[in-house]
Amino acid sequence: MSEIRYSKDHEYVRIEGDIAVIGISHYAQEQLGDVVFVELPGVGDTVAQGKEAAVVESVKAASEVFAPVSGEVVEVNGALEGTPATVNEDAEGAGWFLKVRLTNPAELDGLMSAAAYEDFLKTIS
């Protein structure tokens, strides 16, 4: 099973070898509501931990997606541009945003495990 970690900003990162798959958590999509637009970075761009990596817009509002880890973008989920609702249907699966090659794997240590994130959600609800 691949390892998944979460940020306090409700992004997840799933580690597949030296590639990190980044998206927003199931909780985040619930809070956003119906996603109608996703703006993704370009392949080859670099993203820095805690900085904006993508934008997600629901009917109500636009929200930034912060990179939970730093890296070089190797792939983006272009299918979301046509079917942004996939983010609602399967946030932590088919609704991923981008894949990066990690430049600083140590950053993962500062993120939460699935169990720790669940506990974190209890503290904010």
Kindly list the residues in this chain that would bind other proteins in the complex (CB under 8 A): 33-34, 36-37, 39, 55, 57-62, 81, 84
Nearer to other proteins, 43 or 59 (CB): 59
DSSP character for 48?
A: -
Shortest distance, position 24 Cβ to other proteins, whole Å: 16
DSSP assignment string, 54-107 = EEEEESS-EEEEE-SS-EEEEEE-THHHH-TTHHHH-TTTTT--EEEEES-GGG
Helix, strand, coil percentages for the chain (3-state, nearest 5): 25, 40, 35
CB of 75: closest distance to other proteins in angstroms? 20
Nearer to other proteins, 16 or 64 (CB): 64
- Both tokens of 119, joined, read 């506990």
Q: Which is nearer to other proteins, 34 or 119 (CB)?
A: 34
Shortest Å distance, C-beta 29 to other proteins:
11
